[in-house]
Every structure is written in structure tokens, then in C-alpha cells.
Structure 1
Amino acid sequence: MRKTTYLLPILVILVAAALSSVFIVDEREKALVLQFGRVVTVKEDPGLAFKIPLIQEVVAYDDRILSREVGPLEITPLDDRRLVVDAFARYRIADVKQFRQAVGTGGIELAERRLDNILRAQTREVLGSVSSNDILSSDRATLMLRIRNAAISEARGLGLEVIDVRLKRTDLPQANLEATFSRMRAEREREAADEIARGEEAAQRVRAQADRTVVELVSDAKRESEIARGEADAKRNAIFATAYGADQEFFEFYRTLNAYRGALNENNTTMVMSPDGDFFNYLKTALPDQ
């Protein structure tokens, strides 16, 4: 009974020690076996691995491709046109041992802060060596490649491999943006004023042409009407002359009746004249006997 009492705690301790000496390396990770803070073993293959309990510890790092956003960065290209650039990088831990030696217990958080500094410095250096038009053009892919290649060598000292660097957004600073918008607005307003002035000028030409055409048409119409009126008067006079030559007495009688109709109209004013005048010749002539 005493022997069992002693053996059971020992067995529990041995089992606990055996379990604590075994660890699993995930396929998405790389592991370091540390002994008193010093790297003893690097475990990169997934599966079971062993360590010395209580003396050694295991630290795992992500082996996948990671992304890092680089905050807004203000740069000044060669043409002094200031720009605000947002970028992001894709990277992975290539050498976990060197990574541990570079960042110590700071881990991935410290490494990303140092990577930010590298990316910011290289972005300023590369984009500051070209004009803003180059940054905003399709050639920016070449500039991103230059930033990545420059960052690779510096990130290698951290045990990191920079896979890609991309510029997400390239804008003007807020103050410059407002000034640029104001300048663009003034330019568009000037163009609009020019277009309005040209339109008014064209409209004046059209109106002048229309007025001239109206004058010409009215003049032609009046001239043709005068010609037609003259020709009609000539025909009328010819008819009157023919009628007068055919029967002079009847023609005089007809003309006198027309004069009566015009003079004795009810709308005319009162006329005072002698009844013996020639105007009443036909009114006072005695009718022939029936």
C-alpha cells in the first residue's frame, strides 16, 4: 500500500513531464525552441516535436503571407506638388531565427513598426525622385517595384521577406486639394464664360442675318405689291377708258352713282351744297315718260 502511495505521484509527474515535452507545429506556423532565451532549435516542418520540460520553451510565428497597411504619407515629388499616399505591403517571416534575434520579445508588433519605417522611408525616397505626373500615370507600377526592391534588402535584416508593395491612393493634401478645386472651378467658369460669349456673338449674327432677311423680304414684298398695284391700276384705267369710249354718257352715269354711294353713306358727316350743282344732275333729271 505504501509502495503504491509513492509510485502514483511519481507516475503523475512522469506523465506530466512527458506531455510537457511534446508540442505540435501547425502547418501554418514556424516554431523556435528557446533555452534561457537562446534559440536552440528551429522547427519549420509541421508535426510533433520535443523539448526539455521546464528548461526549454516554444515560441511560434505565423508562416503565412501577411498584410500591412501603411498610413497616409505626405511626399514631395520633383515638381514640388505635394501628394498624400496610402500604401500596403505583403510580407512573410522568412527566417524565424533572425526574426527572433532582431525583434526579441517584441514579436510581430515590433517587426511591423520597423517595417513601416522602412516602407515610409523608401516610398519617400523613390516617389521624391520623380514628378507627380509619373506617380499619377500608369508608370506607377514601376515605382512600386522600385519601392519593393529597396525595402527587400532592409527587411531582410529583420528576417522578413517583402513580397509586394502597392500604392492604394494618391491624393492632394486637403489645403492643396481645395486650392486645386478652386483653380479648376475658375478655369471651368472662364471656359463657360467664353462659350457664353461665343454663343451670344453667334446669336447676334443670326439675329442680324434674320433682321436683314426680314427687311429684304418685306422690301421685296412691298416692291412686288406696288408693281401689282400699278399693273392693276393700269388695267383698271384701261377698262375705264374702254368703257368711256364705248358709251360716254353711261360711263358718266356710272361714275356719278359711285360718287353718290360714297358721299351719301350714313357714316359721312353732313354736307351743305347748292342743289343746282353738277353733283345732283342725275337726281334732278326728269324721268322719261313711261
Structure 2
Amino acid sequence: MAVHGVVYSHKSKIIDNVEVVVYSFVKNENMTVLTPISSTLSDENGKFELQLENHSNYQIKCFKEGWKMENNAIILAKEAHGTQKIKINCQLKKADNYELLGELHQDKKDKFRIELFDAATNTVITLKDKVFDFKFQLDKQGGYILKVINEQDHILYMNRIDIKQTVSKTIIDLPSDQKKRFPIYPFTVNTSNINEEAHTELNLIVKRMKEKENIDIKIECHTDSRGDDDFNLKISQEQAKSIKNYLILQGVSSERIIIEGFGENFLLNECKNNVKCSNLKHLENRRVEYLFLVSSTR
């Protein structure tokens, strides 16, 4: 499917060198999700053309410094034919657009999903596979929530961003040590009682959280598949609460502690129900992991 058109002003004058951005467009009852997938520039005659697949719906936005698009065009591509040509004209008026430029500071070269949420319109713009730099193009000022999410769907950073200038910049320092695993399983089997041996690791967590007031922690408890599924889920949730209570008693605010008990829902190997495995293989699944989350909202 081809999409082509012309960019012109409200006075019908041709505008060249306009960035035409195509977003995949998903709308449910409460949220609109936009993901930029392609872009091009209008030529000296204001013309542009893009090739799109038919498997998604799209929204087109046009950006140029000092100009703003009158209306965002929505293409219902799922209803289009494969060879169909769709004409979309972009009419611009004199007004400011806005940019949020960001840098990710990390020790590795991991890829992240960056999300910018606009509560006023219930719209999320999503950038995928970002390593160091990112850019959001926006058509209005206001308050946004910025998130950095890793490939395991953990939120590593969340902060409110106020867009007031035409160009805003932010630098995000991501934690070098992301998800970690307790070196020693911290509980007596089938209980939520914390072992004495686990206090060393727990106290290191307390020390770090007291040193860095801008981080939260997420704790995840997992069992192996032996025993009843419902019991495993319940005991893992109780174990997560035990760790949270320990941290609170050591002076960490409860608001900074996120806990999850998953039971046997996220096994690391093939040892699920009715599969014969050695004790060592089962123990690979019995684990407690934690992740530091960066937040500068406090």
C-alpha cells in the first residue's frame, strides 16, 4: 500500500523539507498507543510517498520547526487493498512543535523501550530498541510521564517530564547491575522464614537503598514445580512479603518496595508438573531475584 501526498500551508503554499512520520496506531477503550515506524521528507514540491503494510492502522504527523499540523491523519490500512494508493495531504499552520531529546547512560549496549505517556489525551508514544539516544516529536506542551523499560518488561526508570521549551533534553543514568539473584536461597523450604545466611545480601540491599534515595526495588520470589500449584503461588507471595518486612524494619520506606510472588509460573528449565527432574534441576527454579528501579520523582 502506497501513501502519498503534499505538504502545504494554510495559505496553500507548498512547504518542503517537512518530516512526515508514520506511527502504527492502536486504540482500545482507555488508551491510544503510537509507535513510529517510518519517516520521510517532503521534496522541493512538497510531495512525499511512503510504502506501508496492510496489517496495521496508522497515524501520520508532519513536523517542521515553526510549523504545526492542523489535523493528524489516520489511515485504516486493514481495510485497504495491497496495491491501493492513499492520498494524504498535510496542512500546516505557523505554530511551535516540541522535541524531547534523551540520552541513556549505561555500561552495556542493551536495547530498551522508551514510553512517553500523555495523561491529558491517554496517549502513549513508544520507541523501540533504543540503546543510547532517543527523540520524541510532540505537537503540544504539557506534563508527560517518561519510562525506560528493558527487554524483560521491567521499568528501570519513571519520571514526570514537563515540556515547556521547543527543545527539552534529559539524561538518564541506568543501573549497571539490573536483575540480580540471591546467591543463597533465603528461606527455609516451604516457609516464609528468612534464613540467617540471607541477612548479608539483604543488608547490602538496605545499604544501597539508604545511599541512593532515588531508587526503588522490585523483589520477585519463585518456587519450583514440586507441590501444589496454588500452595506454591501463595508461599512465594508470603516470602516476598517477608523480605519487604525485613527491609522496612531496617529503615527502608514501604513505598520504595515492590514485591511479586510468582509461584512456579516462570520456570527456568523444563522441570514443570509431571516432568521427572533431579533435585538440582528443580533447585534452579527456586530463586529470589531483585531489581533496582531508578526514579527521580522523589
TM superposition score normalised by structure 1: 0.19
Which structure has more strand as a fraction of its residues? Answer: 2
Which structure has more helix as a fraction of its residues? Answer: 1
Bigger relative contact order (CA 8 A; separation at least 6) = 2
Larger-Rg structure = 1
